[in-house]
Homo-oligomer: A and B are copies of this chain.
Amino acid sequence: MLRIGVVGCGAIGREHIDRITNKLSGGKVVAVSDVFVEGAHKVGDPIGATVYNNSADLVNDPDVDAIICTTPGFAHKETVMQAIEIGKPVFCEKPLTTTAEDSMDIVEAEIAGGKHLIQVGFMRRYDKGYRQVKEMLESGEFGAPLYLKCTHWNPEVGTNYDTPMAVYDTAIHEIDVLHWLVGDEYESAQIMMPRQTKHTHPDLKDPQLMFLKCRSGLIAMVEVFVNCRFGYDINCQIVCEEGVIDLPSPAVPTYRKSGGLTTPIGHDWKKRFIEAYDTEIQEWINSTRKGEMNGPSAWDGFVANLTADALVASQQTGEVVPIDIGVVPEFYKK
């Protein structure tokens, strides 16, 4: 049984606690912390967890084997660095940190420590569909991938959602999953702004067409359209030398009614990848218990920061912005 401490008892923290307690196998939440300690008590007391009002004490609790960090992004670095210092594994929600520099600090600390400890919460890699696509790509039957197209269509956003969030909050999932999917590294980023929907607001460019070029020459196009109205619809089509592969949409009943044959499209992004969240945490528990770390690494968190920054830079100018991740450290090579 992996004894887990959860840092940050907000919505996502509570969800992870619930799935570990009621759905998954092999883990137990033994400690929780939150600067807002009453919130921590509310979730920790019913399950008999020790309650802390700060991250450091939880990390140092000898009964805690591993940490899940679900605080706001700006607070991740502190917890992660504490855990590295003491040598405990951390599952850290995305983003790893809010700047490429901070993420690089973590990368360097982890390498210095010599132990793989950090996994970043990019759950798309745990979606069954993406995994099947990756398997098909790796089978060799489709030849090299040449370009690919993704839609990240979302029904609507509030007025607090602005142009950079289309990258940092939305395309960030494609940023992580795509280079993993094709086994390549990004080299440059560019954004084109097509005609804008009337359903957007002054601080938000919507839709946006994002392009990520890889070292192999592969171009990944990501369509972000967050006020598309009709639903939350994630698609990914990969054009290869010998054929084309399409990510499946969720299996739902189709129906004939009122002059049409319809496949429903959900509106809720959380439900779209709900099984992926479960798998992500289950596999983290399993691998952590074995002393392994297989998921998205601190390095992947750093790459995501750098790539997102390049895309945001291009939002202003429309120009091609280079992405220089440098040499992938030996430590992170698979």
Residues in chain A within 8 A of chain B (CB atoms)? 21-26, 128-129, 132-133, 136, 141-147, 149, 153, 192-199, 207, 209, 211, 213-214, 216-219, 221, 223, 225, 228-231, 233, 239, 241-267, 282, 286
From residue A39, how far is it (CB to closest CB) to chain B in Å?
Answer: 24
Is A255 touching B241 in the complex (CB atoms < 8 A)? Answer: no
B147→A209 contact, CB < 8 A: yes
- Please give the distance in Å from A129's CB to the nearest CB on chain B: 6
Of the candidates B146, B149, B225, B231, the one whose C-beta lies within 8 Å of that of A259 is B231
Contacts of A261 in B (CB 8 A): 262-263, 265
Number of chain copies forming the complex: 4
By beta carbon, the residue of chain B nearest A148 is B194
* CA A309 to CA B247, docked complex, whole Å: 36
Chain B residues near A223: list those with CB within 8 A.
Answer: 147, 239
Chain B: which residue is nearest A246 at the CB level?
Answer: B254
Task: Evaluate whether A243 and B255 lie within 8 angstroms (CB atoms) in the complex, with A25-B23, A195-B144 already known.
Answer: yes
Task: Please state if B254 and A251 are interface contacts (CB–CB under 8 Å).
Answer: no
Are A256's CB and B243's CB within 8 A? yes
With known contacts A25-B24, A243-B230, A144–B198 Cβ distance under 8 A: yes
- Of all chain B residues, the one with the shortest Cβ separation from A229 is B242
From B21, B128, B257, give the contact of A251 (CB < 8 A). Answer: B128
A278 to B120, CA, bound (A): 27
Question: How many Å lie between the Cα of A327 and that of B193 in the bound state?
Answer: 25
Are B251 and A255 within 8 A (Cβ)? no
Answer whether A242 and B219 are a contact pair too, CB < 8 Å, given A192-B211, A207-B147, A249-B251. Answer: no
A229 and B241 contact, CB distance less than 8 A: yes
A244–B251 touching, CB < 8 Å: no
In contact, B264 and A255 (Cβ under 8 angstroms)? no
Q: Are A195 and B146 in contact (CB under 8 A)?
A: yes
- Can you report 10 A-B residue pairs in the complex whose CB atoms are below 8 A from each other? A136-B255, A142-B255, A145-B195, A193-B217, A194-B219, A196-B217, A221-B221, A228-B243, A230-B243, A231-B256
Do A256 and B233 touch across chains, with their CB atoms under 8 A apart? yes
CB of A251 within 8 A of CB of B251, answer: yes
What B residues does A199 contact at CB under 8 A?
241
- The reply to whether A259 and B253 form a contact with Cβ atoms under 8 Å apart is no
Contact of A260 among B21, B141, B245, B264 (CB under 8 A): B264
- Using CB atoms, name the residue of chain B closest to A128: B251
Q: Closest approach, in angstroms, between the C-beta of A4 and any C-beta of chain B? A: 13
Chain B residue numbers with a CB within 8 Å of A23 are: 24-25, 282
CB-defined contacts of A26 to chain B, threshold 8 Å: 22
